[in-house]
Amino acid sequence: MGPIFMALLLLAGWGAFAYSASRRWKLLRVGTADNRFDQPGRRIRETFRYGIAQLRMRRYPLAGAAHMVIFLGFGVLLLRSLILWGRGFDESFSFWLFAPEQFLGKAYSFLKDLFAILVIFGALVFVYFRVVRRLGRLTLNAEGLIILGIILAMMVADILYDAATIARASSGPGFILYEPAGSIAAVPLGLLSDATLVFLRHLGFWTHSALVLIFLNLLPYSKHFHIITGVPNVYFQSLQPPGRLPPIEDIEGKLEREETLGIRRIDQFSWKAILDFYTCTECGRCSDHCPATKTGKKLSPKHFTLDLRDFLYRNADALTAGDGNGSVAGGADGREHHKDLVDGVIDPEVLWACTTCRACEEECPVFISYVDKIVDMRRYLVQERSEFPPQLQSAFRGMESNANPWSFSPADRANWADGMGIRTIAENPDAPVLFWVGCMPSFDERAKKITQATARLMQQAGVDFAILGTDEQCTGDPARRAGNEFLYQMFAKANVEVLNGVGADKKTIVTSCPHCFNTLLNEYGDFGGHYRVVHHSTFLSQLIADGKLRPTNPLSKKVVFHDSCYLGRYNDVYDAPRETLAGIPGLTVLEPRQTRDRGMCCGAGGAQMFKEEEPGTQRVNIERTQQLLETNPEVVASACPFCMRMLTDGLAAKGREDIPQLDIAEVLLEAVQVPQSHAGA
């Protein structure tokens, strides 16, 4: 159907794409090293689950179904494009086994027609979202509609090519079972002249053949680049626990060598971070569920990623050339691409509004990470520029001088246990269970009740446990999430030395604070601390299951449960606290609409507990409290001392002090409480 023209079309189309792809490849290699080639078997499994089967897209039923059929349709129709390109040189070309008279050819023709119709349906769904509903989370611009128009035109052109071919082959076109779409479209074409049918056949053929190449060349310069990079980005996702932040390696050596701590420039991001920038689909699901975005803060995970991506693209030539020919209005060395990202590209207020809750990462269908990038940029601000919210100075100073963010005397750390008969690990070195209490549960008057309830429950269950007492220090989590990596590592190394010294690697560590739980379990391994760590919700649930705790006192109450981000999204602990509550007779467990992995953050994570919240339309804890109150509960339950503080304040702000905010240990203790004369020590 025109070998010379087809050869020119393919040479121009693929040549232009090769040029664009090579530029993007060179830009990707500007990023720093990051080993993402381990565990290939697991990576392949995860890619099939989330890259091919697109499990996360199912969280949005209509959009997910539309995206799935378009994704699969492109895979099916790729063979069709290859066949049509081949027919440009030989009209009978069909990849041999897929010839029309062959069984495989007929089966493929049916599948191709089916998916052409489904792709049209999927594209029209997205046109509806953009033009009619105008979803706020989407990037609404001409580019999206142009791409959708190309997709629709490709499908219609393919059907037109088949329809004109079928109409020419018979005087009165009959229905061909294995070409249903073409057969239906051929009916009205049967009235046209042969010359018109030839024209329509050529129009469909060349339109499809050319649009595939035009579409391919638009991808590297649009958000639809994710069509190429999405599956690789899923493959190269982090296989580390979600709760682990990568440490700054050899931080003391970097200080001596005056190397940058954290991320200052765009070329200090890893190649995987750059692949993240390439892969953003601009779907807005991350911002849809971000507590900062929902409460009117400057932070939008979507725009955070896009701002970095756009800056990367604007400076692509200078970054890949390495010749430093940037703008004189740029960084300290006069080069635009070396300018500080903070202030220059990202407003510091954006970084400090993040609660590190990971709601954005839980929603992203292509596994883009956000928290590590934000914390890395905080690390630069704190450790290089000494710029951070002034309230954090008190927390840092308290940790440095008294090993807790509130500057309480370390000598008072075990005062909560006075009169309870609880022994320290020095007094009971063979105890199989070590109760890691944490700072807030040790010093805060309200949080102490969580600690005491947990200890009493373990005593009643006959658990042989001990505490570190004054040897316990802050895990360093608040400092790390706030960007003070040096202070965090100081605590991590000291605590690991203490824990290893008491044989904690051979014990079970129980903690009631999800932040301590996450740090001990997922992050201390980088410093030689490998422990079996259990959150108190899981530990108590197991004690009930083993019959060591018997909640026999009925509690006729309606309780709504709030999920801690560092327990749920960070460590996938959702069922244990609910099982603990469900085991109490008479108790009704309510679920808010935003629950489990879609539960909204309380607002305390990411060191927000120790600073003023950024300006917005609403405080995060009040927004979350309102969501919980919509269930009409009699009790608000949680499993985190930080969450307890934020929700208690939220209830007060809503004028609902009549609703108590209790930890699950406190609720359970009421259900298993025995008369004081028979209670354990």
Confidence of residue 337 (pLDDT cuts 50, 70, 90): confident
The pLDDT value recorded for residue 171 is 57
pLDDT, tens digit (0-9, with 9 covering 90-100), for 623-678: 999 999 999 999 999 999 999 999 999 999 999 999 999 999 999 999 997 544 43
What's the CA angle centered on 475, arms 471 and 476, to 5 degrees?
125
Give CATH for domain 3-235: 1.20.950
The pLDDT value recorded for residue 326 is 40
Domain ranges in the chain?
A: 3-235, 255-383
The pLDDT value recorded for residue 334 is 62
566: Cα within 13 Å, side-chain hemisphere = 33
The pLDDT value recorded for residue 350 is 98
Separation between Cα atoms, residue 92 and residue 102, nearest integer Å = 13
DSSP 429-485: TT-SEEEE--HHHHH-HHHHHHHHHHHHHHHHTT--EEE-GGG----SHHHHHTT-H
Q: Are 396 and 484 in contact (CB under 8 A)?
A: yes
pLDDT at 606 over 50: yes
Q: CA nearest 584: which of 669, 644, 512? A: 669
Please give the structure tokens belonging to residue 150.
């190309």
If 0-12 CB within 10 Å is exposed, 13-18 middle and 19+ buried, where does residue 430 land? exposed
The pLDDT value recorded for residue 338 is 86
Collapsing DSSP to helix, strand or coil, 553 comes out as coil
The pLDDT value recorded for residue 423 is 97
**Strand-pair partners of 433:** 465, 508
For 511, the enclosing helix (H) or strand (E) is strand 508-511
The pLDDT value recorded for residue 255 is 82
Domain over 255-383 is classified CATH 1.10.1060: yes
Confidence of residue 681 (pLDDT cuts 50, 70, 90): very low
pLDDT at 112 over 70: yes
The pLDDT value recorded for residue 159 is 96
Q: pLDDT over 90 for what percent of the chain? A: 87
The pLDDT value recorded for residue 333 is 63
Q: pLDDT over 70 for what percent of the chain? A: 96
Separation between Cα atoms, residue 590 and residue 596, nearest integer Å = 12
- Cβ contacts of 300 within 8 Å, gap of 6 or more: 287, 290, 292, 293
CA dihedral 281, 284, 285, 286 (to 10 degrees): 100
Q: Tokens 């996702």 — which residue?
A: 237
Largest CA-CA distance found in the chain, in angstroms, rounded: 102
Pairing verdict, β 433-436 and 465-467: parallel
Separation between Cα atoms, residue 648 and residue 630, nearest integer Å = 16
pLDDT, tens digit (0-9, with 9 covering 90-100), for 28-81: 999 999 999 999 999 999 999 999 999 998 888 899 899 999 999 999 999 999
pLDDT, tens digit (0-9, with 9 covering 90-100), for 205-222: 999 999 999 999 999 999
pLDDT, tens digit (0-9, with 9 covering 90-100), for 498-532: 999 999 999 999 999 999 999 999 999 999 999 99
